């Protein structure tokens, strides 16, 4: 299962987990994805999409 937002194209981000002694270990910050049913205005039907939570907030601006 790919962890990519279908609308914005957001993917995972690389980062570090820093301990109290400042030892850095690699970690991956994944996208906050949700499976949503969205009404498509152009196709006049429901579409199942994996969308990040930030894109859910701005879906009414996009007009799929």
pLDDT at 63: 63
To the nearest whole number, what is the mean pLDDT of the chain?
91
Task: Please give the Cα distance from 13 to 63 (Å, whole number).
Answer: 27
Residue 29's pLDDT is 95
- What is the pLDDT, as a whole number, of residue 52? 94
- pLDDT tens profile 6-64: 999 999 999 999 999 999 999 999 999 999 998 888 899 999 999 999 999 888 777 66
pLDDT at 39: 86
pLDDT score of 2: 84
Please give the C-alpha separations between residue 43 and each of 14, 36, 47, 49, 60, in angstroms, as whole numbers.
37, 17, 9, 14, 16
- Going along the chain from its start, the domains and CATH numbers come out as 13-62 (2.30.170.40)
């Amino acid at each position: 299962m790919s962890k990519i937002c279908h609308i914005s194209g957001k993917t995972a981000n690389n980062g570090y987990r820093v301990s109290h002694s400042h030892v850095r270990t690699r970690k991956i910050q994944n996208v906050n994805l949700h499976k949503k049913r969205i009404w498509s205005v152009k196709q006049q039907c429901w579409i199942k999409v994996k969308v990040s939570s930030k894109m859910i907030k701005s879906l009414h601006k996009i007009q799929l």
